[in-house]
Amino acid sequence: MRGGTSRGPFFRSDWLPDEPDERDKVLLQAMGSPHELQIDGLGGGHSLTSKVAIVSRSARGDCDVDYLFAQVSVNEKRVDTRPNCGNMLAGVGPFAIEQGLVAATEGTTLVRVFNVNTNSRIDVQVQTPHGHVAYDGDARIDGVDGTAAPVRLNFLDAWGSVTGSVFPTGKTQDTIQGVDVTCIDAAQVMVLMRAADFGLQGTESADELDSNTALRTALESIRREAGHRMGLGDVSSSVLPKPVLIAPGVSPGSIQSRYFTPARCHRSHAATGAIGVAAATVLAGTVAFDSRLAADASHVFRLEVLHPSGAIQVEIEKSAGTGDGSEGIKRASLIRTARKIFDGTLHLRT
């Protein structure tokens, strides 16, 4: 399935081995890793097309299904289940309904998803006219051609879900290797940096940034130190935290963001990353804080995260009197789309 601007196979958990090491061996074979082209599997030779969603019926009373996301390395024999992926999440609701894990209702079906990676809940609204999943529609997201049915993702408690705090270092800003950064855990674990501090505008293309070897080396060095400060330990073999370069947008509530996966710049943007960047723009003291929004008294902000392929609109609801960490964000939502590409039997090597 394509979920948002990502793609990968969706499995029910009972289709895979229970033991994590054996499960990961299957996933590596399924994707064709390690190989730069993933020629012997389903992967597309890029981190955005080397993702896996594992879905099961939830035992939790307030959730319908559990969703475990796995990032399968392209060039290494490694499967990482520490991060989350909001783009692949867009396919979880349709998959769960079509697999009989959730009963469809007329018009729209709410699928309550527990994200195993981050121990958080996301409410997913799926279009189900006549009780069947609709993939066709008028919603358009940048980074994907054409239109499709909208899938609304409502993130309810993803604030500090991995590290225990929205600001895991205890500060809204730190200085790492002479660069001001914000280490944040809000739907995604990231280290935010101003593009200007690297002599950049923040509007560069992904190819420009990927070809800048000195920049990538600097970002990786900062990312590793940030990981230690955030309590994640040695992150050299993990994709968390994600390094992100930000710059102010032209209008209030818009922000330029260049999100790294972490070795390469995302061709568009991670959905969870967009929520984290948007959250940082409304929380005072961060490197992304937009003071032009400070006078807004509604506590609901409609923000635009600008990326190499366009933009993602994010709605953030703050709690009253915010700016003090985990109490700051109440809810975040955005629209994604999904498409079922095929279903069938995957043949593994024996």
Asked if the bond preceding 241 is cis, omega within 30° of 0, the reply is yes
Q: What letter would DSSP give residue 48?
A: G
Distance CA 111, CA 106 (A): 13
How is domain 174-327 classified at the CATH fold level?
Diaminopimelate Epimerase; Chain A, domain 1 (3.10.310)
Domain ranges of the chain: 2-156, 174-327
- Summarize pLDDT for 172-210 with one digit per residue, the tens: 999 999 999 999 999 999 999 999 999 999 999 999 999
Question: What's residue 325's pLDDT?
Answer: 44
Segment 302-326 shows an average pLDDT of: 80
Report residue 349's pLDDT band, with 50, 70 and 90 as the boundaries.
confident
Question: What's residue 326's pLDDT?
Answer: 43
CA nearest to 215, candidates 179, 168, 164: 179
- Cβ–Cβ < 8 Å for 231, 168: yes
Residue 267 backbone dihedrals phi, psi, to 5 degrees: -70, -20
For residue 292, the number of C-alpha atoms closer than 13 Å in the C-beta half-sphere is 11
CATH of domain 2-156: 3.10.310.10
Question: What's residue 196's pLDDT?
Answer: 98
- Identify each DSSP E strand in 129-188 by its residue range: 151-155, 174-176, 179-185
Distance CA 295, CA 252 (A): 11
Share of the chain above pLDDT 70, in %: 96
Question: What's residue 324's pLDDT?
Answer: 42
Distance CA 63, CA 69 (A): 17
Q: What is the pTM of this model?
A: 0.84
- Summarize pLDDT for 10-67 with one digit per residue, the tens: 999 999 999 999 999 999 999 999 999 999 999 999 999 999 999 999 999 999 999 9
Same CATH fold, 174-327 and 2-156? yes
Segment 76-81 shows an average pLDDT of: 95
For residue 322, the number of C-alpha atoms closer than 13 Å in the C-beta half-sphere is 29
Least confident of 72-81, 106-115, 258-267, 315-324: 315-324
- Summarize pLDDT for 202-260 with one digit per residue, the tens: 999 999 999 999 999 999 999 999 999 999 999 998 999 999 999 999 888 899 999 99
Question: What's residue 190's pLDDT?
Answer: 97
Residue 296 has pLDDT above 60, yes or no: no
